[in-house]
Every structure is written in structure tokens, then in C-alpha cells.
Chain A
Amino acid sequence: QQPVQSPQAVILREGEDAVINCSSSKALYSVHWYRQKHGEAPVFLMILLKGGEQKGHDKISASFNEKKQQSSLYLTASQLSYSGTYFCGTLPGGAQKLVFGQGTRLTINP
């Protein structure tokens, strides 16, 4: 039931792009994306509802393909502040509990 994230870790240089994928074995109603910096609370980035929409938030955007039960998070022209662990959370249709993937650790170097 837990969504699967890939890759598990990414190391980039400032200014490079990254894509983080999230896939589920269950039909999804929505997908959440969060970022957690070490020792801090997860911070909500965006939510995508079924309908294949794409959202943007500064230079961070995401897509949701409900037929493939997948979502991808796109980080363009990465900044040092983007470092952290990114979690996707999935809410299968009819379910109340948001289940998180294992996370993708993103390291941005100068």
C-alpha cells in the first residue's frame, strides 16, 4: 500500500534539474508532496487531485497521471535551499489515511 519513490537519493550541483517519481499499486484519489529538512517537520509543497493536472510552485512543479497511478515532482534550476528529503503521500480513493513513500534524499552542492 505504501507508494514507491525513486530514486532513493540524488546529488546535484546548484542549477541542475531533478525528477522524483512516486508510484502506487492502488488507484489514487490524490497525491501530496512534502519536503523535510534534517531534524525539522515535513512541509507541505502541493497536492494534486485526480484529473491528470500539473501544478507549479516557484521552480518546483508536479504532475499526476491517475491511469498509471504515478506522480512526478520536477525541480528545475535547483537552489541550495531545495536540499532535504522529499516525500510523496498517496490517498487511495475512499481512504482517509495519507500513506507516505520512503522518501528521496536530495542534496544540492554549490
Chain B
Amino acid sequence: DSGVTQTPKHLITATGQRVTLRCSPRSGDLSVYWYQQSLDQGLQFLIQYYNGEERAKGNILERFSAQQFPDLHSELNLSSLELGDSALYFCASSAHAGTNGGYTFGSGTRLTVV
């Protein structure tokens, strides 16, 4: 157990639907990052939050949004889902804003869009 909790572990949904992925960071970590990993692909950075505020954005689609709540957990919302959105979505956390420390990854949410 890495200390980063992601729910649900698996999600199967139909095209056009909306889903919410949840992440609880490791205790004491203020930064949360979301990454997308498609089959046999690398880790694509989506978005970063630090202590409730958005800090950096990657190539995140307009259909996707995220937020970090006062208790530091984060949610990634994916809407108008398409087949190509099927992927592993990882959440990671770190103590600070991503400069001097490594990231701790959660076990991921596997999203399948049918």
C-alpha cells in the first residue's frame, strides 16, 4: 500500500457518459497529480493541484476537469466519454509542489468505455 488511495479500481461505462475518479493523497502530502496511461503508452500528465489550487496543466481535454478539496482529496471528472478515453488513470502525490521530492502513485483506476 503506497498510501495513495484511488477509487474505484475499475470502471466500465458507455460512450457519452460522465464519471468521477477519486484520489486521497498520502498523509501529509499537499500536491496531487493526475496522469493518463493508455495501453502500452507512457504517462501523460493531465493536471496538478497544490493545497487546493491548480498549479499546472498538461494536455487535458476540455471534457475533463478536476479539483482538490479542503481535505486534500482530489476528483477527476470525465464527461462525454469516448472510446479513446479508455485508459489507466493514475493519481500521485508529493509533499511539495513537485520540485525536490519523488511522487507516490496510487494503484490507478482502469476506465473502460464501451
Is B24 engaged at the interface, CB distance under 8 Å to the other chain? no
Please name 27 pairs of A and B residues whose Cβ atoms are closer than 8 Å in the assembled complex, sorted by A. Answer: A2-B42, A29-B99, A30-B99, A32-B103, A41-B108, A42-B103, A42-B105, A44-B102, A44-B105, A46-B102, A47-B100, A47-B101, A49-B100, A87-B42, A87-B43, A91-B98, A95-B56, A97-B33, A97-B45, A98-B45, A98-B98, A99-B45, A100-B35, A100-B42, A100-B43, A101-B42, A102-B42
Give the residues from 16 to 40 in chain A that come closer than 8 angstroms, CB to CB, to chain B: 29-30, 32, 34, 40
Q: Closest 5 interchain pairs by CB?
A: A44-B102, A96-B56, A41-B105, A97-B56, A100-B43
Is B74 engaged at the interface, CB distance under 8 Å to the other chain? no
Contact between chains at B42 and A98 (CB < 8 Å): no
A40-B107 CB under 8 A given contacts A96-B48, A96-B56, A98-B33: yes
Is B19 engaged at the interface, CB distance under 8 Å to the other chain? no
Tell me the nearest residue of chain B to A105, going by C-beta.
B40
Contact between chains at A97 and B98 (CB < 8 Å): yes
- B45 contact set on A, CB distance < 8 A: 97-100
In this complex, the interface size class of chain B, counting residues with CB under 8 Å from chain A, is 20 to 34
Type the 1/0 row for A74-103, where 1 means its CB is closer than 8 Å to any CB of B: 000000000000010101000111111111
A97-B48 CB under 8 A given contacts A30-B99, A87-B42, A91-B99: yes
- A95 contact set on B, CB distance < 8 A: 56
Shortest beta-carbon distance from A67 to chain B in Å: 20
Is B106 engaged at the interface, CB distance under 8 Å to the other chain? yes
The distance in angstroms between the C-alpha atoms of A71 and B106, with both chains bound, is: 26
- B35 contact set on A, CB distance < 8 A: 100
The distance in angstroms between the C-alpha atoms of A96 and B57, with both chains bound, is: 9
- A91 contact set on B, CB distance < 8 A: 98-99
